[in-house]
Amino acid sequence: MTPPKPKQLSKFAPDILRKMVPQTLERHYSVMSYDGHDGGCPGCKSDHVVGFGWLPKTFCTIITERGGFKDVKVSVRRYLCMHCKHTFLASDAPFYDHCKYGKAIVDLCLALAASNPYNRVESILMQYGIQVDRDSVKRYALAFRDRSIKKAGIPVMDSSDAKIGVNILKMLFDVENVKELKEKYPKAKYDSVMDETFPRKKGAKEALEKERFNKSVNGEKLPKFPDSFTVASSYMNHLECFASIACRNSPFNEIVAEALAKPLLGADAIVTDGSRCYNSIRDYNCLFHKMKNFFGIDPFLARQREMMITNSRKLPPSIISEYMCDIYSFAKVEYEEWLKARYPDLFDSETGKYIGAMTTNAMEGGNWRMKYELRSPYQNVASVEARSILIALKRFFANVQGR
Ligand SMILES: [Zn+2]
């Protein structure tokens, strides 16, 4: 079942936008021409270049009132280098390399892809009378991911070639790690959280059902989870921004954890769940995960679970939840005291509270929000990573605006 598409515009607005936006684009860009060539030939840097005709280039494709498509073209000057015979286009033309449409359209696609799956970007643009197909949107996002990895990919161990994920701090602040960021802004708090989430692969749910059926026939153990990607990230709690993010086709492991922790060098504290992959990284455990483990082996709760199975007399749920709440509150106070003593930089003497992250939920409601924002299942890992990077960047700018 396809969920209904949310209505973003009022009943009357789409018509106006559908006409106005394409008209404005056409009026503005169809008369534009670009002929700048700063620095001469991009190949040999020679200044000896001559004009070599004009090239019409599609800035965007608009949807006409009758529902047809029309390319809005700009004129771009072509040059010939007399020294190396290389031809090249005007440097001020509003196009990115290897992108069919103009920069403004590509930027718009990326901005929309930070909040929407690729196919949804296509339908939103359609409401504005602009035609960009889903595959192009995806291509732009993938190109953005490739560039991000090239500029801010995190080297695996000491190899400079193999990279895992991207360093978001580098993309946003041009620093390698928290240590460098601290030098720029010494007054901020730098506590951080690391976590993973597992968005399922396209078609994985159906495949799981089939596998479960086949195994149940043979009496084998049934698999619980659908095949999924691993989206792992690190997040700066006080800065309200991601520090690193990576998507993998394989289960979470130490190598990924270690790579993602590199930008956190110099952080005041790193909080993670109890996974062994973080053993050499974490400063302390997430309180929720700690308590989950504690309740897992608590003899009183174990007895209650046993009674539930054997259907014998058991305590009402309210008593059990009260019991758990009491223990949790007690543990929280204890934990907070321990943290205050251990991380005095994260102790606020005015309020008497520990202000560092105590749980991985500090990641603004947990990494599940990333999963929620990814929305639809994806076929390949690069597509998920491209959207995750855009979502992470959007989160930072949305938080900055909200301040
Ligand atoms: Zn040249």
Give the model confidence (pLDDT) of 125-139 as tens digits: 988 889 999 999 999
Percent of the chain exceeding pLDDT 90 equals 47
Alpha carbon of 54 to ligand 1 centroid (Å): 19
Estimate to the nearest angstrom the gap between the alpha carbon of 156 and the chain centroid.
Answer: 20
3-state helix, strand, coil in the chain (%, to 5): 45, 20, 35
At 341-382, the pLDDT tens digits run 999 889 888 888 899 988 887 665 555 677 788 888 888 999
82-96: per-residue pLDDT in tens?
999 999 999 899 999
Rounded distance from Cα 374 to ligand 1 centre (Å): 45
Q: Which among 178, 207, 186, 140 is positioned nearest to 382, based on CA atoms? A: 140
More confident residue, 316 or 117: 117
- The pLDDT of residue 375 is 83
Smallest Cα–Cα separation from 331: which of 342, 319, 339? 339
Residue scoring higher pLDDT (219 or 234): 234
CA of 31 to the centre of ligand 1 (A): 29
- How confident is the model over 315-334, as a mean pLDDT? 87
pLDDT digits (tens, 9 = 90+) for 15-64: 777 788 889 999 999 899 999 888 788 889 898 999 989 999 999 999 88
Q: What are residue 358's DSSP bridge partners?
A: none
Tokens (6 digits) for 39: 């620095």
Q: How far is the CA of 39 from the centre of ligand 1 (A)?
A: 11
Number of H-type helices and E-type strands within the chain: 13, 13
Q: DSSP code of 265?
A: T
pTM, two decimal places: 0.85
pLDDT per residue as tens digits for the range 161-195? 789 999 999 999 999 999 999 999 998 999 999 99
Kindly tell me if the per-residue pLDDT of 397 is higher than 60.
Answer: yes
pLDDT of residue 316: 79
**Section 112-136 average pLDDT:** 92
The mean pLDDT of 220-233, rounded to a whole number, is 86
Centroid of ligand 1 to alpha carbon of 51 (angstroms): 13
Q: Say how many Å lie between the CA of residue 38 and the centre of ligand 1.
A: 13
User: Residue 3: which pLDDT band, with cuts at 50, 70 and 90?
Assistant: very low
Q: What is the DSSP string of 272-328?
A: E-S-GGGTTT-SEE-HHHHHHHHHHH-HHHHHHHHHHHHT-----HHHHHHHHHHHH
Q: Which amino acid is at 354?
A: Y
Q: Determine the distance from the C-alpha atom of residue 54 to the mean position of all C-alpha atoms in its chain, rounded to a whole number.
A: 40
Q: Tell me: the pLDDT tens digits for 375-391?
A: 888 889 999 999 999 99
Rg of the chain over Cα atoms, rounded to whole angstroms, equals: 27
Of 109, 167, 138, 157, give the one whose Cα is nearest residue 379.
138
SS3 46: coil
